[in-house]
Structure 1
Amino acid sequence: MLDAEDIALFRESIKGTKKLTQNTFVPPRTVNVKKKAEIREIREKQDTLFYFSDEYEPLLNDESAVKYLREGEDSYILKQLRRGDFSPELFLDLHGLTREQAKQELAALIQACESEHVYCASIMTGYGTYTLKRQIPRWLVQHPKVRALHQAPKEWGGEAAILVLLDV
């Protein structure tokens, strides 16, 4: 509690000032949930793209069927992929796309698999100049969510497609 002397001192120090009127209203800041979700989705897509380097050269055998198994995974998974035991739930067709477009679509596919909890996807590379057919596995082996990949069996596209098993 203030004593009379302190109150008098305060009144003496503010003598000659005007009282301020508060006539402005500052509305509370609203968060645009939709815009925030879009920004998060773009960031996640960019994060996924981060894994795809064009300079990285994994030890893949270009002569035989395309195949890769992440270290620590059961080798039986490759046999299952080759036989078609896993049915792809998402399909990505890269026919007619440039390398950069294909890289964007690949990142979007992995993101979609993760958000939809899809563990097996098929990527149609086609035959063409074999540019994408050779590059797609090199990009995929760099991503930490990719457990295994193998050239698709005939019913899922054969030599023109790759089956990917993801850790979702």
Structure 2
Amino acid sequence: MKKRYQLAEEERHLFRESITGTKPLRQDTVKPPKPRLNTNHLPARRLLHEQVDASFYFSDEFQPLLESEGPARYMRPDVSPYEVKKLRRGDYIPELFLDLHGMTQAEAKEELGALLAACRREHVHCACVMHGHGKHILKQQTPMWLAQHPDVLGFHQAPKMFGGDAALLVLIELDE
């Protein structure tokens, strides 16, 4: 094997002079601990099942009755209409954000299902879904998918600070 770095005689002498009086380090006999399995994280298979289960609710054929006038909004019948007003004003601060830019409809459905499953798992009450403007395909489909899911209490077009008309704030029902 060829030596890549060769020092000049002067540099070798300078090095030896600078390390005079030092002792070599003794090798530690302590073995590093074996890595433990983290039991806090859910198995990947369970996460995948949650995601698939959550995206099961999204149908392209079903058209929920949403208001066509004004901003995109929806509230389940058993939820107070005051909640929509609080969403519109920005009283709820989203803890999770999902950016759907550049995704296909199938990918967006999968990610939306994963977001809702994550919100339930992490006890997140409000999330923001950024669908963007684009060709208005995801902008039209996202509210229809969200209105079909049983864990969604409601949604409203996001205030300007969270994306304006290119995003939705979603309220998720949590277990007590």
The normalised TM-score by structure 2 is 0.73
> In the alignment, which of 149, 159, 166 is matched to residue 160 of structure 1?
166
**Which secondary structure does the structure 2 equivalent of 1:91 belong to?**
strand
Question: Which residue identity lines up with residue 58 of structure 2 in the other structure?
Answer: F
* Structure 1: segments with no counterpart, 5+ residues: 1-32
* Structure 2: segments with no counterpart, 5+ residues: 1-38
**Which secondary structure does the structure 2 equivalent of 1:141 belong to?**
helix
The equivalences for 1:101-140 within 5 A come to 101-140=107-146
Question: Which residue identity lines up with residue 42 of structure 1 in the other structure?
Answer: L
CA distance in 2, matches of 1:156, 1:39: 33
> In the alignment, which of 34, 44, 59 is matched to residue 38 of structure 1?
44
Deviation per CA, 1:42-92, whole angstroms, max 9, x where unpaired? 222111111001111011123320000001100000000000000000001
Question: Which residue identity lines up with residue 124 of structure 2 in the other structure?
Answer: V
- The match for 1:141 is 147
**Which secondary structure does the structure 2 equivalent of 1:74 belong to?**
coil
CA distance in 1, matches of 2:78, 2:172: 14
CA distance in 2, matches of 1:45, 1:125: 19
Larger radius of gyration: 1
CA RMSD of aligned residues (A): 1.5
CA distance in 1, matches of 2:170, 2:158: 9
The normalised TM-score by structure 1 is 0.77
Count of residue pairs the alignment pairs up: 135
CA distance in 1, matches of 2:69, 2:79: 23
CA distance in 2, matches of 1:95, 1:39: 27
Deviation per CA, 1:107-129, whole angstroms, max 9, x where unpaired? 11001111111010001111111
